Amino acid sequence: MLKQLAKLASAAALAAAAFVLPAHADAADNDALLRDANRTVNHLRSDPAFGAARNMMRNARAVYIVPHLVKGGFIFGAEGGSGVLLHRTKAGWSNPRFYDMASASFGLQVGLEKAELVFIINSERALRGIEKGEVKLGAGAGLTVVTLSSGAEGATTAHGGDIVVWASGTGAYGGLTFNGSVIKQDKDANAIGANGPAASQLRRNLAGF
């Protein structure tokens, strides 16, 4: 997984230093990520800024949750995080699957910053692009991403946004953009799977919207 994330960061921008995350070593690591994802969903639910966008979550084709996006460096530095993807089925939310995200930069930055993200995936093409194993975000790559705000619903409807992102973080943000960001399957973590109580709790949590 270490080499994989280095490649993801390079794909986002060759000039960026590779951003490396700890590998998912076993089922305990998967469970820890799922528990963190549950906390992120709880934070999303309690955020007043999310209020009017609840219908987007109710109608979402899928969600991708990144509990810990780490931003490092000054102005230009590789960044990334591990996350879980769930899609809707006739029986409710699917079992979580594990995907990593990397980018040269998610916006201007000063010092170390962290954020938690929820990607509300509205289109089938966005979901399929991620599920195929590798996707690059941004209008130039064929997938549009808008940041959740008071105008997010209108932007999604008017401009056909494939993904709407809710973000909550700490640190000195100079903007949050996702153009050129890469999402790729974590094959090691998916080989272990997610079938325990933490996965069930996450599905129930999402079903509560």
**For 82, how many CA atoms within 13 A lie in the half-sphere containing its CB?**
24
Range(s) of the domain holding residue 13: 2-202
Question: How many structural domains does the chain have?
Answer: 1
Question: Phi, psi at residue 7, to the nearest 5°?
Answer: -65, -40
pLDDT the model gives residue 193: 93
Lowest mean pLDDT among 52-56, 89-93, 139-143, 198-202: 139-143
The answer to the question of residue 98 being in a domain is yes
Helices (H), the chain: 2-12, 27-46, 54-58, 124-131, 152-159, 187-192, 197-207
The answer to the question of residue 208 being in a domain is no
- Using CA of residue 156, residue 176, residue 124, residue 27, what is the dihedral sign? negative
pLDDT value at 116 more than 70: yes
Write the pLDDT tens digit of every residue in 1-23. Answer: 544 544 544 444 433 334 444 45
The answer to the question of residue 26 being in a domain is yes
pLDDT the model gives residue 150: 41
pLDDT the model gives residue 52: 61
Residue 105's alpha-carbon distances to 79, 80, 110, 182, in angstroms, are: 6, 9, 12, 11
CB atoms within 10 A of CB 181: 24
CB 96 within 8 Å of CB 85 = yes
pLDDT the model gives residue 135: 74
Closest CA to 184 of 7, 25, 36: 7
Mean pLDDT, the chain, integer: 76
The answer to the question of residue 41 being in a domain is yes
Q: Give the single-character DSSP code of 23.
A: -
The answer to the question of residue 209 being in a domain is no
The answer to the question of residue 144 being in a domain is yes
97-103 and 79-89: which strand pairing?
antiparallel
Write the pLDDT tens digit of every residue in 120-161. Answer: 999 998 999 898 866 777 656 667 777 765 445 554 544 457
The answer to the question of residue 207 being in a domain is no
Q: Give the single-character DSSP code of 61.
A: S
